[in-house]
Amino acid sequence: MNRRQFQKTSADAALRIGCAALLALCTACGGGSASPDPGTSSGSVSPPSGATAAAWKPGVADTWQWQLRGTVNTTYDVRIYDVDLFDTPQATIAALQAAGRHVVCYFSAGSSEDWRPDYSKFLASDKGNALSGWPGEQWLDTRSDNVRAVMRARLDLAVSKRCDGVEPDNVDGYTNNPGFPLDASSQIDFNRFIASEAHARSLAVGLKNDIDQIPDLVAAFDFAVNEQCHEFSECGAYAAFTGGGKPVFNAEYLQADVTDSAARANLCMQARAANLRTLVLPLQLDDSFRYSCDS
């Protein structure tokens, strides 16, 4: 499960409200009569003919930075940047790539967010229970053909913005209380659908959390993104990725790992032993601080 959904802060809520107001000015993804700005899609993008796998795949030693809020700090000497699909201007993505970075674009695949420019594309029947602690966000019925059409459009947007890969979030709704009769089988089907559609567009794709289904899904994904596997003693499950040459990008949020250098050193020793690319980051993922176990 995406544990960040249960750790919402009031400051983050205020930021989301501000973002919603700004995004309301944007033309909806994949449509509208106004000229798109660099951060939105200009329409549906056809997948490359015959493409069945990612054009680029990250390596187990690749370092990374994860920032989903605020102006992206492009100064880190890392191989991969993981940034928001909607909010990150195309110019920022292009600049990162010109500097030799690869860009992974984040979006929520399993929830609706009422501040996103394509929110109106979801049907009332697509939206279920609210995500606890995340105002404006509801679980999606991932069995829905309409939900899957919206996700295809988001992957098209990733292509149009020249992302190298994608990080689809909230792909473990069946373990929560989504308001729909989702189960392990329907989740595996949806997650494989996302991976297949990403690969059809030559995008690398990461499995976000969903630890219990790693054995069923590792073959379909090119990398993994995890939150707090050290804190919850779950990192061992990711040997299925690293043992197959697929990297695991991990974030930890414990305050002790921020303030206690000895605790952080112990964390990093464990991360390196498990061949994980671990960062200690703020919960808001706003680059207010960053500690890397790879530097």
Angle between helices 184-200 and 145-160 (to 10 degrees): 30
Is the pTM higher than 0.75? The answer reads yes
- Among 226, 270, 218, residue whose Cα is nearest residue 244: 218
Q: Are 180 and 112 within 8 A, CB to CB?
A: no
Binned at pLDDT 50, 70 and 90, residue 11 comes out as very low
pLDDT of 197 over the 70 cut = yes
**How far is the C-alpha of 213 from the C-alpha of 210, rounded, in Å?**
6
**How far is the C-alpha of 218 from the C-alpha of 221, rounded, in Å?**
5
- Residue 133, pLDDT score: 87
| Overall average pLDDT of the 29-37 stretch | 34
Q: For residue 156, what are the contacts with CB-CB under 8 A and spacing of at least 6?
A: 30, 41, 43, 44, 45, 201
Structural domains in the chain, sorted by start: 3-32+41-46+54-292 (3.20.20.70)
**How far is the C-alpha of 58 from the C-alpha of 48, rounded, in Å?**
20
At 238-263, the pLDDT tens digits run: 999 999 999 999 999 999 999 999 99
- Among 159, 163, 213, residue whose Cα is nearest residue 191: 213
- Region of residue 285 (phi > 0: left; psi between -120 and 50: alpha; otherwise: beta): left
Binned at pLDDT 50, 70 and 90, residue 52 comes out as low
Q: How far is CA 214 from the centre of its chain?
A: 16
At 109-154, the pLDDT tens digits run: 999 999 999 999 999 999 999 998 889 999 999 999 999 999 999 9
